Structure 1
Amino acid sequence: MEKLETKRLLLRPLTTVDSERIEELAGEYDVAKSTLNIPHPYPKGSAIHFIESVHDTERNNIIMLAITEKGSQLLIGLINLNLSSPYRRGELAYWVGKHYCGNGYGTEAAKLLLEYGFNHLKLNKIFAASFTSNPGSWRIMEKIGLKYEGTLKQHVARFGQFYDLAYYGLLKEEFDTESQE
C-alpha cells in the first residue's frame, strides 16, 4: 500500500514503531467508547500484537493506515477500508485521538480514502457505520458525501449497553456524479 497525502495529512502503513502512540491515543476512554473494538483500558504492549495482526490481514482485504500530521509525522489516528472483493465494496472506519477531534482531520482522511477506494481500488460501494450517539463520526460521513441508509436498533453492545448503528453509503456512480459538480 502506498502513502496517501493531503495538504495537512499523510496516510501511511502502520509500523511497530506506532505501537506506543496507538496505546496512548486509543487508551483514552472517549476514543474507545466510540468504537466497537478498542479495549478500555488499553492493555500495555497489546498494540504491537494489533499491528502484527493488521499486517497479516492486509493480505486478506483490509487496508489500515496511520493518520499522521504531514509536517510533524505525528500519528493522530487510524483509518481503514475493510474490503469485500466479491462485491467490490469496502467498509470505512476511523478514529482520531481526542485532542485532534474538531480540526477536520477525520473528514480529510476519510475523503482521501474514499477517493482512493473508488478511483484506485475500483470499488462499487463504500459504506460506514456509527453509533447514533456519536454525531462527530456520522457528520464526517455526511461531509464526504455518504448518504444515510438506515439505522439498526440496538444492534451492538459496548461496555454493557446496547447501541443503535447508523449506516451511510455511497455508490461509485454517485461519487462520479458528485465529483463532476
Structure 2
Amino acid sequence: MSCLAAIATIAMVIALFFLRVQAAALNSSTTVYEGGAPLHDEAAAEFGIALVLAAAMFATAMLAWVDGYKITLAPAEALFRSLDQRLARSDAHLAELEGTHVRLNENQAVAELRIQHLPTERDEALRGVDAFARELQELARTEVAIHLGDPTATSGLDMPLSTTDDVADPTAPTQTEGNRP
C-alpha cells in the first residue's frame, strides 16, 4: 500500500510539473502587445517555479507518509492491544464470577447452619405454641368462670371467686390486653 501511494505521489508531482510548464508556454504565446515582440521566455521562468512546487509537493507527501506511519499501528502492536483489551474484559468477568462463587459458598454455609439448628428451633417453636395454647386455655377458663360467676364451672378452678377480688370485675382488663409485667 505504501509503494502504491509513493508511485501515485510521484506520478502526480511529475504530471503537475509538466502541466505548469506547459500552461506557462501556452500563456506566453498568446499575449502580445502592439509594437512589442514576444520574448517567449515566460516558460523558462516558470520552470524554476515548477521545480520549487514539485519539491514542495514531494516534501508534503513525505510528511504525510511519516505522519501516517506514526499513526498506523504495526500489526503486532494492534494484536497486542486487542489481546490486552480481551484480557481486561476476561479479568473483569472472572472477578464477577469469583464474587458469585464466594456469595454462593456463603449462602450454602448459612443454609447448612440453619438446617443443623432446625430441630432445636422447631422444638422451641413447639414449646412456645404449647405455652401459648395453655395460656389461652387458662384465659378461656377464667373468662367462662367470670361469665358464669361459678368457679367450679370449669375444670382447674376449684376455689370460688369472691366479690372482693379484682379478677371478678368484668370491666377489669385481662392479661391479653397488654397489662402483663
Q: TM-score, normalised by structure 2?
A: 0.18
Q: If you compute each CA radius of gyration, which structure gives the higher value, 1 or 2? A: 2
Q: Which structure shows the bigger proportion of residues in helix conformation? A: 2
Q: Which structure shows the bigger proportion of residues in strand conformation? A: 1
Q: TM-score, normalised by structure 1?
A: 0.18
- Indicate the structure whose relative CO is greater, using CA pairs within 8 Å and at least 6 residues apart: 1
